[in-house]
Chains A and B, each alone.
Chain A
């Protein structure tokens, strides 16, 4: 299973893309688009918003390609861009206000969460995990994903969110508690209600 952070492209391809070669840029797009989109969608949940952020992320990639020094794989660099776009979105009260007004945040993530996060042909297990993730608040979802899957430390998460380390720890604990309720409804006391 490929993760964005593992994706590398050849030096030659990179050079051509930097010079504006459309075919090279298209090749890079084909190499990173599916993993980038998957990461963004996991972090923000909502597919339409994920598409906007994906577009933004890819545009930034091509605009700043000349700044990429090749010290880490291209995927790792792109991951930074994508995560920073997602967190900017999640932190923005303007977006929150819009989401509240449009009833997107709570209704979509909670009532229709499973449908929003559904992949075209999900396996049972992954579909269940998708449903569980969708039941989390956007911040808790982002924190648990960054910590458990992307390997961020609490310090890094705190820096990304512009908050304290204890914020990251408490969000992670809450997310774990919530997911535990989801996966083991009878094991943790309070029964899980499908949302």
Chain B
């Protein structure tokens, strides 16, 4: 008869007995090659950033010129909004009716966004982080329930909670995207 403590100790010993080394996935030369590959987009990214700044300045100058001739036109911003509204409609409320599909589409849309917006607002960032943490927490519970063969009703509740949180995250990220586009 073993006490819980003894069992825990035995499990810990088994874990510690696992090999601390295993063959490296690739050698030094391959590491350098991969590192070069990873560095290239970074350098390209910097160049692209300068190009983007130059393009933005150009647009600003052109915009000022147009401004002097005409009254303010909201055409471009309307275009942005309509595009984003289209994305939102397609991802959140569009033709998809089933909750599962909506969640999946929402996840795809979120995954397609950059991790953080170009301009970070403290308020929305805190909300996003909080929602992300809560989704991660529900994910953990879901994994545990699935592994343990949990009750379908409990799984369903967790799925619902996850979908609700994910929708909230989509809303907040959408608002961020709108704010960035209107800038």
Binding site for B on A (CB under 8 A): 1-4, 25-26, 29-30, 33-35, 37-39, 41-42, 47, 50-51, 54-55, 58-59, 62, 91-94, 96-98, 100-101, 105-106, 110, 119-120, 125-126, 129-130, 133, 135-140, 144-145, 148-149, 162-163, 171, 174, 176, 178-180, 183-184, 187, 193, 195
Report B164 CB to chain A, min CB distance, Å.
15
Residue numbers of B with Cβ under 8 A of A are: 2, 7-8, 10-12, 14-26, 28, 31, 34-35, 38, 104, 107-108, 110-111, 115, 132-133, 135-136, 139-140, 143-144, 146-147, 149, 169
List of A residues within 8 angstroms of B115 by Cβ: 92, 94
Q: Which of B15, B21, B24, B25 meets A149, CB within 8 Å? A: B15
Residue of B nearest to A36 (CB): B24
Indicate which residue in B7, B21, B107, B132 contacts A180 across the interface (CB closer than 8 Å). B7
- With a CB–CB cut-off of 8 A, which chain A residues contact B11? 148, 176, 179-180, 183
Q: How far is the CA of A18 from the CA of B147 in the complex (A)?
A: 47
Q: Contact: A97 with B149, CB < 8 Å? A: no
Partner of B19, one of A26, A38, A174: A38
**Which of B19, B133, B135, B140 is close to A1, meaning CB atoms less than 8 Å apart?**
B19
CB distance from A125 to the nearest CB of B (A): 7
What is the CA–CA distance of A104 and B111 in the complex, to the nearest angstrom? Answer: 15
Q: List 13 contacting pairs A-B, 8 Å CB cutoff, sorted by A.
A: A2-B20, A25-B28, A34-B23, A34-B24, A37-B24, A58-B31, A125-B17, A137-B143, A140-B140, A148-B12, A149-B12, A176-B7, A180-B11
